[in-house]
Structure 1
Amino acid sequence: MLPEPNYPVSPEQFIGRKTPSEAFTLALQQGLAAGRISSFAVLGDWGIGKSSLLLKFAAICSDPKYGILPVLVPVSTDYGDYRRFAESLLDGLAEALAATSSLTTRLRTEVRNWKLKRVSMGGFTLDREAQRFFLSSGSTLLRHALGEAWKRFFLPAQISGAMFFLDDLDNFATPVAQDVARTLRDQFQWLGINRMNYSVCFSARSDYFSAIRSFAEPAVRFYTKFYLEPFSAEETAEYAEAAFRTHEKLHGLLRWLYEKTLGHPYFLAFICRELLACTQGSVPESPEHLWPHVFQQLERNKFRLDLAQVPERELELLRTLAGAQRDEINPRHFIPAFQYAHFGRLTEKGLLIRTGRGRYKLYHPLFSEFLRQTK
């Protein structure tokens, strides 16, 4: 396996996350038995492996013994409204249906011709490209289109259901970020009640549901949630063994890697890639001797890019927090020199992580080290 920190890991090379993978598989089995599959939320901070886990889940769905059609839809920041979002889901469904081997040649031709550009509703046929769109609501569009797809394609092809994998749902900017999850819950719950086996699995930041006051609220309870943490020491070892393609001579390197990365998948992949480049694919005898070069690459390819759009005042706050060398930070200790809004904006940029009410931390100790070195 060649470490590539800037791309999700393919399901064939997926490492770790045994607990969520097994829980997802069990939920899939139970959902098929009940005729209604659960929906899921994969939550975690930047670089923790959310996209890779979504791809792994999608691969599990596509196993013939489950027969669930995975529909992969990256969520863009440029959706203007929910209708455009709904249309992207339908386009993704059409592409996934056209590619599946479960459809007969006739049905596949129908899907390609249809492309979900037309939605039948009662005695009406509504063209998505018409100048005036009768279904002004994206919710209504999605509900009727999925209903028609179920009757025209899923039932004849005996496909058990479909799961929409929505990567980075928090990219869809709405006045209240969780409104999209609420709307999806309402729609997909209605579809399930009406015996149409559609579900959703989305990824988002770990604090995605934090604005919802009660975790007992239906919009929260609807999703089975997986909160991703950094790799354990065992998972870190498994990753390094795959990257260096050996079990030998790794004991000292494994301990060193875990101390540097704390199991963070992005930094683990980045550092392994740089070590392999320095040693031409062999296990380094003394990784600490190579650390200045590796850290320089991190500075150039990650940390300086992190700060490219950070105003001077927020940069000053980051350096102050790094200099404090605390595991967690309470903003009130830095007021009035800085404002609470500074903490909020840095959290939005992913440079601070909100660990609890009134508690923050820099997103990784290596970033803190960089800030201290560049004062």
Structure 2
Amino acid sequence: MRNINPYIPQTGSIPPYFSGRNNELKLFETRIQTAKEGGNIGHLAIIGGWGIGKTSLLKELKTIAAENKCESKLVVCPEIKDSNEFSEFIIGKVISPTERIKIKSVNIMGSGGEIDREVPHKHPQVRLVDALSEKWNNIKEETKLYALMVDDIDKLLSAENALTTLRSTFIELSMEYECRYMLIVTGAEDLFDRFAEYGMTEPLTRFFEPIILRRLNKEETRAAILKPLEKTSIEFENEVVDKIVNISEGHPYYIQLLCHRIYERTVDKAIDKADMRVYEDSFEDAINDISVTRFNKIYPKSEIEKTILEILSVSDEPLSHAEIAVEGLKRNIKSSSIGKPLRRLLDKKLVKQMEIGDKKGKYKIFDNFFNEYVRLKDQLQTF
């Protein structure tokens, strides 16, 4: 009988073993309990880089909300142009068709006459407050908290007045209508910096409590690798586990992707333990997968930027600007031509600058997985 692969390398999926997020889960549990007991409701912003597990954590929080008998709704934010479109989106997702009929129409003085509470001229915040306050009145006897979870809140940054409408709506619902709504959103690691770009720094940074997701440490990474294997007949050799820990640097998506491929190769070979030969073949599979889904899209078009990445990818140590320039000269690139492309790579976060120790100020590719992609890129086309 074929073993079922326990690793799930899809963005947004809940991993087989939820490693390294105990502090975040405990924080949410505390905020839930405080809110249920009538205390202050804290709104949360889960922020972090690509594939770091924001959506997965959001789904886990939804499970915790249910365990605490709190209602919740998880929505993925689409591209939205303004606050009108946003209010309609939220109403459509949170309010059921039956509830919408009740909310749209209210009886006037018992006469049977009705007015539409969502007439076009009403401000989007008014429509949103009307809908959500009515929703709360319908459920408040059954639950002490409603958690609205909005994934990819970044898409609202360029939508005219959408984020300010969201903030103002939840403040009004709490202060004027005594509704018990908690808002949890996810966004990129620079979300709070981008608030400033759109002139929303002060009100929004005070409104949201940030939960910053970082890479797993080595112990957490090992747990993410080994725990899912406990219910299978497959093992990974210690050297294989060490390689995964080092190459992934604790990035949750890389861990799931590489382990998934190693597991598949091990089963296909009809063996019960993955060795380094399996690892090498599986790594080629994994790097090809992520090339298509991610790395090809972020790889620069500038030839000088490509050359800088190639220089860094084959170096065992971070390099200074001067050292990169020396290597560039060997490839017919003038020293004076290195500065601007290097800064662009920093801005794109494809390269990072060391901040501590004797390597402070030197440059390296932002992570090991992408480094291997750059180093092997020409070969990848023939894999």
TM-score tier (shorter): 0.7 to 0.9
Determine whether 1:146 maps to 2:132. yes
Name the SS for the 1:202 alignment partner: strand
Residue of structure 1 equivalent to 2:205: 220
Pick the aligned partner of 2:281 from 277, 280, 293.
293
Pick the aligned partner of 1:74 from 73, 76, 80.
76
Residue deviations 1:38-74 (CA, integer Å, cap 9, x gap): 11010100000000100111111112xx332111100
Which residues of structure 1 form unaligned runs of 5+? 96-110
**How far did 1:13 drift?**
4.9
Say whether the 8 Å CA contact 1:236–1:258 is kept in structure 2. yes
Name the SS for the 1:187 alignment partner: helix
Distance 1:291 1:311, change over 3 A: closer
Residue of structure 1 equivalent to 2:220: 235
Take 2:320 and 2:128, find their aligned partners in 1: how far apart are those partners?
A: 44
Say whether the 8 Å CA contact 1:165–1:202 is kept in structure 2. yes
Residue of structure 2 equivalent to 1:205: 188
Name the SS for the 1:6 alignment partner: coil
Residue of structure 1 equivalent to 2:377: 374
Aligned residues: 342
Larger Rg belongs to: 2
Say whether the 8 Å CA contact 1:3–1:272 is kept in structure 2. yes
Instruction: Give the TM-score normalised by structure 1.
Output: 0.77
Name the SS for the 1:338 alignment partner: helix
**How far did 1:224 drift?**
1.8
Residue of structure 1 equivalent to 2:381: none
Say whether the 8 Å CA contact 1:119–1:145 is kept in structure 2. no
Residue of structure 2 equivalent to 1:321: 309
Pick the aligned partner of 1:364 from 359, 362, 367.
367
Pick the aligned partner of 2:169 from 168, 184, 187.
187
**How far did 1:171 drift?**
2.6
RMSD: 3.8
Determine whether 1:45 maps to 2:49. yes
Determine whether 1:302 maps to 2:290. yes
**How far did 1:294 drift?**
2.0
Which residues of structure 2 form unaligned runs of 5+? 326-336, 356-360, 379-383
Distance 1:305 1:149, change over 3 A: closer
Distance 1:306 1:277, change over 3 A: same
Distance 1:312 1:44, change over 3 A: closer
Residue of structure 1 equivalent to 2:116: 126
Residue of structure 1 equivalent to 2:65: 61
Residue of structure 2 equivalent to 1:245: 230
**How far did 1:237 drift?**
2.1
Take 2:9 and 2:124, find their aligned partners in 1: how far apart are those partners?
A: 36
Take 2:136 and 2:244, find their aligned partners in 1: how far apart are those partners?
A: 49
Distance 1:361 1:216, change over 3 A: farther
Residue deviations 1:305-328 (CA, integer Å, cap 9, x gap): 435456863465255135235769
Residue of structure 2 equivalent to 1:269: 256
Determine whether 1:254 maps to 2:241. yes
Amino acid in the other structure paired with 1:158: E
Residue of structure 2 equivalent to 1:284: 273
Distance 1:115 1:13, change over 3 A: farther
Residue of structure 1 equivalent to 2:330: none
